[in-house]
Amino acid sequence: MQQAIRAQAVQEAPLFEGEQTYERITAQIGDIPFEKHPIGWTVAFGLGFAGTTLLIFAIAVLLLIGLGIWGINQPVAWGFAIINFVWWIGIGHAGTLISAILLLMRQAWRMSINRFAEAMTIFAVMCAGLFPLIHTGRPWVAYWLLPLPNWLAMWPQFRSPLEWDVFAVSTYFTVSVLFWYMGLIPDLAAVRDRAKSQLAKVINGILSWGWRNSAIHWMRFESAYLLLAGLSTPLVLSVHSVVSLDFAISIVPGWHVTIFPPYFVAGAIYSGFAMVLTLVIPFRILYPKLREYITMHHIDMMAKVMLATGLIVFYGYMMEAFFGFYSANLFEKYMITNRMTGPYWPVYWALIFCNGIVIQALWFPKVRHNLFWLFIISLIVNIGMWLERFVIVVTSLHRDFTPSGWGMYGPTFWDWATYIGTLGFFVMMMFIFARFVPMLAMAELKDLWYRLYGHRGGHNGHAPAKEPTHAPTSGGGA
């Protein structure tokens, strides 16, 4: 019964476009690093490079002059830096969700997008980590955050969520890199075996550690891969929970809310899937062969996850408003009224429009199958999630407990330059990744193809071309 339903689902929503062979999968994906890159690649890389230059310039000026070039002040000491930190790290979370949680849930559709999404995670976390680092004002002593013995005989305050953040984000980055790189090892070996030039052979040979596709190696590889997925799953939940505790452990109205950890995690996955769509849709245009592996079914599934998590986020907004009014606390009530009608009201309502109203369009299959509108919606969601963090950080801080401490916050040119700079850096890194590394997990795709359709056309008299009705077996991991 279950099997029949699954088989039907496979036929209706193909995970592959067109007939594949192992050879074809390897050639299509593994040859991209050796092919001439499309002109769009150069343009996008150039834009990304320009952004990176801007970022370096903005940081240089910051280090020369100091934090005064930003718009932060008292009472709003957490401006763009923290908004962007939370935004970027949230984007990273979709990659881990796809690579780890969907692996544990045996979702076959993750295979085509996990490599791509994990790369996105790594670059997003790089951008994220930069912000608190430069927000410290003196990044050259950022090592004070680490528990290193020093002449002050002081240790970090381990009871502070800001210190938890140091550990959570650095662990998250390290584990994401390990997970991504380990999955790459067999694929880099495949690229090594295809490479025509000696240089490519040597580089890929070194990076793949001399991987030789041994069955015993695969067994240990799969075991380690599954365990890394199992470790990453609670890790990703912990990271954004810790990020939310940066806010929730304080007593600032609008931050001191118990709903924060789950609401932040849902928001992270929501914005991350939006970013995956924002990247995948142009990449499918730039590299048409990816369409064979990232099909409309994948896009549809991502849009559905975006809708589901978006609804959780919207529920969070409603709860925030409810808590504010129901709390019978003057400050809480003022906070939510101020968000809706205070000086930053357009930001709040833009946020509700982006994350509450626009995504309702995703209920309709027609919208989920229209790449143009899906792309627009994913951009709107990205903006919406950025606005959410703006609302949380700025509107909560700018009205302090006594009116004498009230203030306003506005970003300066350097705030924007840093933010746009990280966007450029992110784009540049994604395109470098697309240029040199197999973008999709070839071994996993071959495994998936085998499990879906069986082996086609055997010389050894085995199973000559089964009909493509086989659902993925429940056994097996990666």
Cβ nearer to another protein, comparing 123 with 211? 211
Total residues at the site for another protein (CB under 8 A)? 71
Is 107 among the residues that bind another protein (CB under 8 A)?
A: no
d(CA 72, CA 172): 28
Place of tokens 């992110």: 426
Given CA atoms 16, 18, 21, 25 in this order, what sign does their dihedral have?
negative
DSSP string, 75-131: S--S-HHHHHHHHHHHHHHHHHIIIIIHHHTT-GGGTTTHHHHHHHHHHHHHHHHHH
How buried is residue 199: exposed, middle or buried, by Cβ count under 10 Å (0-12/13-18/19+)? exposed
Stretch that binds another protein, among 74-82, 301-309, 364-372, 458-466 (CB under 8 A): 458-466
Query: Which of 443, 452, 471, 472 touches another protein by CB under 8 A?
Result: 443
d(CA 75, CA 220): 54
Is 26 among the residues that bind another protein (CB under 8 A)?
A: yes
Cβ nearer to another protein, comparing 224 with 432? 224
Is 18 among the residues that bind another protein (CB under 8 A)?
A: no
Is 334 among the residues that bind another protein (CB under 8 A)?
A: no
Is 153 among the residues that bind another protein (CB under 8 A)?
A: yes
Q: Which of 389, 170, 176, 178 is nearest to 270 (CA)?
A: 389
Burial 74-83 (b: 16+ CB within 10 A, else e): ebbebbbbbb
Is 462 among the residues that bind another protein (CB under 8 A)?
A: yes
Query: Which of 74, 198, 404, 460 touches another protein by CB under 8 A?
Result: 460
Stretch that binds another protein, among 17-25, 294-302, 371-379, 427-435 (CB under 8 A): 17-25
Stretch that binds another protein, among 129-137, 306-314, 341-349, 459-467 (CB under 8 A): 459-467
N-terminal to C-terminal alpha carbon distance within the chain:
25
Is 250 among the residues that bind another protein (CB under 8 A)?
A: no
Is 171 among the residues that bind another protein (CB under 8 A)?
A: yes
Is 22 among the residues that bind another protein (CB under 8 A)?
A: yes
Stretch that binds another protein, among 16-24, 129-137, 285-293, 304-312 (CB under 8 A): 16-24
**Nearest distance in Å: CB 458, another protein:** 4
Is 155 among the residues that bind another protein (CB under 8 A)?
A: yes
Q: Which of 156, 51, 25 is nearest to 417 (CA)?
A: 51
Cβ nearer to another protein, comparing 346 with 457? 457
Please report, as residue ranges, which positions from 387 to 416 form the binding site for another protein (by CB under 8 A): none
Tokens of 172: 């998250």
**Nearest distance in Å: CB 36, another protein:** 22
Q: DSSP 3-state assignment of 344?
A: coil
Backbone angles phi, psi at 50, to 5 degrees: -60, -45
Query: Which of 64, 74, 140, 159 touches another protein by CB under 8 A?
Result: 159
Let me know the angle formed at the C-alpha of 99 by 38 and 229, rounded to the nearest 5 degrees: 150
Query: Which of 137, 405, 407, 458 touches another protein by CB under 8 A?
Result: 458
How buried is residue 391: exposed, middle or buried, by Cβ count under 10 Å (0-12/13-18/19+)? buried
**Nearest distance in Å: CB 326, another protein:** 28
Q: DSSP 3-state assignment of 354?
A: helix
**Nearest distance in Å: CB 152, another protein:** 10
Cβ nearer to another protein, comparing 176 with 309? 176
3-state secondary structure labels for all residues of 248-314:
HCCCCCCCCCCCHHHHHHHHHHHHHHHHHHHHHHHHHHHCHHHHHCCCHHHHHHHHHHHHHHHHHHH
Query: Which of 164, 293, 317, 344 touches another protein by CB under 8 A?
Result: 164
Is 150 among the residues that bind another protein (CB under 8 A)?
A: no
Prior bond to 75 cis, omega within 30? Answer: yes
Stretch that binds another protein, among 19-27, 251-259, 278-286, 398-406 (CB under 8 A): 19-27
Tokens of 292: 């064979």
Please report, as residue ranges, which positions from 336 to 365 form the binding site for another protein (by CB under 8 A): none
Please report, as residue ranges, which positions from 176 to 235 form the binding site for another protein (by CB under 8 A): 178-179, 181-182, 186, 189-190, 192-194, 206, 209-224, 227-228, 231-232, 234-235
Cβ nearer to another protein, comparing 11 with 213? 213
